[in-house]
Amino acid sequence: MPELPEMETYRSLLLQTVVNQRVTVAHVQREKSINVPVTEFKRRVEGRRIGNITRRGKHILFWLDSQDILLLHLMLGGWMYYGTMADKPDHDSQVDLTLENDHTLFFLGLRLGYLHVIDMPSLTERLRDMGPEPLDPAFTADDLRTALTHKRGSLKSALTDQHCISGIGNRYSDEIFASRPVFSH
């Protein structure tokens, strides 16, 4: 499952490739991957310029010039590929966004994941209960202590709770525990 580091890498690469590109065609192969009827999705996405790409926890946000946002969560097996139709991986994609530079952003493996088109109030509501970003320069040890103060159960379950701290999942919580120093007597 892509977690914060992978999503941050996607964000960085998308900033270099798709920002300021206009979506010329939005093609939906799997309607369950989106949150509105296909015709509405196409109406809200086609012809729109991608103004910025940000990340919040395990989500990627595509900020469109219409004030709509594409909210992506890859969940367990999702991934993205950017290239031409000739380069397309030999996998079924659930949604494709063809850009004005004749490249396409393919969203693959979204069986549990999604690409939702939403407005700012909906985005605020969807992300409001997420915990702090561990990579935020303002995030301190005191912030971590505060986030963990009211948690019951194991530290691993607190680290993977997106309401406590955003972006950490099973893989990186395991890495955190595997890399901690072990003391012997």
CATH code for the domain defined by 4-127: 3.20.190.10
Alpha helices in 88-127 (DSSP H): 120-127
Structure tokens, 103: 């490249």
State pLDDT tens for residues 71-104.
999 998 899 999 999 999 999 999 999 999 999 9
Burial 21-49 (b: 16+ CB within 10 A, else e): bebeebebeeeebbeeeeeebbebbebbb
Does the predicted model carry a pTM greater than 0.75? yes
Q: Alpha-carbon distance 139 to 89, whole Å?
A: 38
Domain ranges within the chain, ordered by starting residue: 4-127, 130-185
Parallel, antiparallel, or unpaired: how do β-strands 50-56 and 59-64 relate? antiparallel
Over residues 97-153, the pLDDT tens digits come to 999 999 999 999 998 999 999 999 999 999 999 998 888 899 998 988 888 887 788
